[in-house]
Structure 1
Amino acid sequence: MATENALLTILADKINNDTLVLPTLPAIALKVRRAADDPEINLNAMADVIAQDPSLSARMIKISNSAYLGRAVKVISTQQAVTRIGLRQIKNISTALAMEQLFVSKNPIVKEHMEAAWDSTVEVVANSLAVLQVHVKKTKNRALNIDSVMLAALVHNIGILPILTEAERHTEVFASPTFLEVAIKKLSGRIGASIMKEWGFEPEFVEVAESWENMSVQYDGISYLDIVRLGAAFCGKFEENKEVAFKAAIEKGVIDDLSELLTDEFEEYKASAKLIFE
């Protein structure tokens, strides 16, 4: 227990002193984001940037053919995928699809936790994207974008990464999963917000990473935070706040009733989202 408390103290001190080592964006995500911010960039040039990473290219084609873009004609090339998705959305989607590269470790114990965290994150993404589809179909409100929902869901628990990395130096704490859960619950929100700020992400992503599990944080109108919370709650996250999250989503009009998330159509939306990450 002394080691566990010591690790918690170390993490808290590093956060307070701004000395905690934060993960960096995958190189391909950085390249795409910089290219997207170039006012002179065109679709051909962007396709060339994405083509530098075969895995990202393949997933970009998958998402361009997914139910979320609602097109019947299939695309088969990166150029076609970029054209279909558009420059505005490419920045967030490419970042989201490169995110898996962060959930790795050479330590077998940490690797196991990283993989579990990634699998859990993909579940939240699938549920969040399905929630968005249900919401859009019901309300015709397209104010929230698929690219932003995907990215927000993927970074919602990003604060777990430095905790697991730091814990790698104290492997005995992995014998106590409960302790790790406590450390993550106490600190991952603050760390996640720091990561989002360090990466220069917009405030809505900072809010999701910092407050997705804190139901006392509420904003007017339907936000990405609401979509991710409902997606997380529906796949079993923060059990103690699950009913609160469901009630808040209904009151805000994200959905009218939980039955909307119990349909075959909802399951199809989820399955389509998961295919993107296979």
Structure 2
Amino acid sequence: MMDSEKRSRILHQITSNDFLPSLSPLTIQLIEAASDERSSVLDLNRIIEQDPGLTTRLLKMVNSAYFGRRTKISSISHAIIMAGFKRVRLMALNISLRDTFPLGRVGGIDYDLFWKTSLYRALIAQGFSQAGRLAEALDPEEIFTAGLILEIGMLLLFHVCPKEHQAVFPGGAMALTDLIAWENEHLGINHREVGRIILQRWHFPDQIIESQKYFGPEALQGDRSPWVRILEFARICTQIFFGPQDDFQLLDSLALAQGLSPEILNEILVTTFSQVEEVAGQLRLMINSQDDLLMVMEKANRTLTKINGSLESSFVKVFNLISDLEQSTVQEPTEELEEKNKLLENTLEAVVHEIRNPLMAIGGFANRLAKNVEQRGDVIEYVHLITKESLRLEKVLKDLVAYSQIYKPFIITRNIIQVVEKMLAGYQDLLDEKDIRLNRLYRSTSILIPLDEAEITKALQCLLETEIQLLEKMDRQLWIGLEEVLEKKEVRISLSTKAGQFPEELRHTLLGRDFSGKSFGLGLGLSLARKIITAHGGRLELTLEDDLNTLSV
């Protein structure tokens, strides 16, 4: 069948009430009340009270903690007075429309997933409408309804499409742009067109109908209405959480584009997960927000794994570029040096751009979740895991940027013992947590030397963290020595453990012989420490004697 014929047949079915799911008489009356400016409180009260089940659910919703009512509302007329005509009508309409469609899986449509995603999208969109510069310009209840039915055309199109296509209908398992392309190719029409047509027939407000028209980058353009932009942003959030999309890096940048800080975005998202179950109950949806959060955390963890792989693969390339630049001689032509610098800058910029945004988005969301004491134990455990890994990768990225920069020490005479003691104090909690006993092998209270305190502290931190991570469980002790070697005019700082021989790739990195992707995180810290110490005219040494592995500066 030609696409034009498919399109004509589907359009005929959509515009014919005989082919669409049967809307209840009450739903039809609610829709008509929406388009009739003469509708009164009494008219709405009369329509809703025809259905005792709807009345009960509506009163539960109005009295729920989600709506923050302090006094109990016991009748629809009271609800209309307290909550407002528009709000009660929209709530009743949302409940009635949900009841029109089944639950479970039918062919290629998972109705449970569809409605779950729709409810999350509605709550997120409502949260956006109440924050930032749009808070006073939009009606949160209308935004909620628009978010809930944003993809309603998908259910209607599935309902009227040929049987052979129903079994393979992609539904929510495919990204929106791919889904619309599939629909246009196989059916000659897409579900957003269907949604626009049916919402016009149902006399929905123009702004809700307009939101069906735009999606993707086109919907986020500055000249689009706030409705369109908010609903698209909310759709992207739910697609990232529950769909095939995993572009976490989009979250913070899109939030800023809509006038929302990343902190406000994370607050809205966390609040949504805490509210969704109560609202779902009134719509007869079974949603477990803790299971959903766990699924989102697992998806975030997979993204962090990809980031780690990407960072590791880029790492050796960047490191080699830095080493090549460091080994360049003053005899090299200026043009060649500038070219090497430019190549390093461009490569580093590409790595940072690819990694920093998703890392900040995932880390920020996990940090906000960690503050919510109501989360389930396994969710909190996963959240802490995500937070820890995000911080580790952020540190690796930060160290990489620091290592790539030309470093000249800012020298001031300082008491090196005080510098070391201050550094150790910052690690005492970690040492206690890991049950590591710290043994000091020095007594002097003052050794004055010229140094860059901030950078030497950073170098010592890198060395200490390396030793801590290499410690064996059987002997959780760490010795730190500090002595002044007068005949050599040196100060020697040593860190010793019974961790055995240093891994070969770390020894090569530490001594400046080579860099291996296997040494990734620790290797970079050691390279940064070596760079700082070398700039101070110092050196690093490794010794293994009497079972003590000693790293000396």
TM over 0.5: yes
- Show the counterpart of 1:176: 168
Summarize deviations over 1:191-237 as a string: whole Å, max 9, x none.
Answer: 111112222222211122232x3331335376232332232222224
1:19 counterpart SS class: helix
| Residues 1:102 and 1:257: Cα distance change in structure 2 (over 3 Å) | same
Amino acid at match of 1:270: V
Show the 5 A alignment for 1:131-170. 131-133=125-127, 136=130, 141-167=135-161, 169-170=162-163
Aligned length: 263
Summarize deviations over 1:163-190 as a string: whole Å, max 9, x none.
Answer: 21223x42x4344344996466541111
Matched, 1:192 2:195: yes
Amino acid at match of 1:14: R
On the 8 A contact 1:197/1:206 being kept in 2, the answer is: yes
How far off is 1:7 after superposition?
Answer: 9.2
How far off is 1:251 after superposition?
Answer: 0.4
Show the 5 A alignment for 1:191-210. 191-210=194-213
Matched, 1:257 2:262: yes
Show the 5 A alignment for 1:11-160. 11-14=6-9, 18-22=11-15, 23=20, 25-35=23-33, 41-104=39-102, 110=106, 116-117=110-111, 119-133=113-127, 136=130, 141-160=135-154
On the 8 A contact 1:93/1:150 being kept in 2, the answer is: no
> 5+ unaligned residues in a row in structure 1: which ranges?
1-5
2:70 counterpart SS class: coil
Q: Report the Cα distance in structure 2 between the residues aligned to 1:11 and 1:119, rounded to whole angstroms.
A: 27
Structure with bigger strand share is: 2
Q: Report the Cα distance in structure 2 between the residues aligned to 1:52 and 1:36, rounded to whole angstroms.
A: 17
Per mean C-alpha deviation after superposition, the further-off stretch among 56-65 and 219-228 is: 219-228
Per mean C-alpha deviation after superposition, the further-off stretch among 35-44 and 56-65 is: 35-44
On the 8 A contact 1:65/1:75 being kept in 2, the answer is: yes
| Residues 1:233 and 1:242: Cα distance change in structure 2 (over 3 Å) | farther
On the 8 A contact 1:129/1:270 being kept in 2, the answer is: yes
For CA contacts below 8 A with separation 6 or more, give which structure has more relative contact order: 1
How far off is 1:266 after superposition?
Answer: 3.7
Q: Report the Cα distance in structure 2 between the residues aligned to 1:269 and 1:8, rounded to whole angstroms.
A: 43
How far off is 1:57 after superposition?
Answer: 1.5
Summarize deviations over 1:49-100 as a string: whole Å, max 9, x none.
Answer: 2011223212321331234533222223323222222223333332222111
How far off is 1:158 after superposition?
Answer: 1.5
Summarize deviations over 1:98-144 as a string: whole Å, max 9, x none.
Answer: 11133249xx974x655x23542343333432443365255582322
On the 8 A contact 1:226/1:249 being kept in 2, the answer is: no
> 5+ unaligned residues in a row in structure 2: which ranges?
185-189, 285-553
- Show the counterpart of 1:214: 216
2:13 counterpart SS class: coil
On the 8 A contact 1:128/1:231 being kept in 2, the answer is: yes
Q: Report the Cα distance in structure 2 between the residues aligned to 1:30 and 1:62, rounded to whole angstroms.
A: 23
How far off is 1:160 after superposition?
Answer: 1.4
On the 8 A contact 2:158/2:169 being kept in 1, the answer is: no
On the 8 A contact 1:157/1:189 being kept in 2, the answer is: yes
2:69 counterpart SS class: coil
On the 8 A contact 1:208/1:225 being kept in 2, the answer is: yes
Amino acid at match of 1:252: Q
How far off is 1:275 after superposition?
Answer: 3.1
Amino acid at match of 2:275: Y
How far off is 1:242 after superposition?
Answer: 7.0
- Show the counterpart of 1:3: none
Q: Report the Cα distance in structure 1 between the residues aligned to 2:3 and 2:56, rounded to whole angstroms.
A: 40
Q: Report the Cα distance in structure 2 between the residues aligned to 1:10 and 1:245, rounded to whole angstroms.
A: 41
Structure with bigger helix share is: 1
Matched, 1:234 2:226: no
Identity of aligned residues (%): 17
Q: Report the Cα distance in structure 2 between the residues aligned to 1:38 and 1:157, rounded to whole angstroms.
A: 25
Q: Rg: which structure is higher?
A: 2
Two-structure CA RMSD over aligned residues (Å) = 3.6
On the 8 A contact 1:193/1:209 being kept in 2, the answer is: yes
On the 8 A contact 1:158/1:192 being kept in 2, the answer is: yes
On the 8 A contact 2:108/2:168 being kept in 1, the answer is: no
- Show the counterpart of 2:280: 274
1:143 counterpart SS class: coil
Summarize deviations over 1:25-56 as a string: whole Å, max 9, x none.
Answer: 54213213434655665434422220112232
Q: Report the Cα distance in structure 2 between the residues aligned to 1:234 and 1:191, rounded to whole angstroms.
A: 23
Q: Report the Cα distance in structure 1 between the residues aligned to 2:66 and 2:201, rounded to whole angstroms.
A: 30
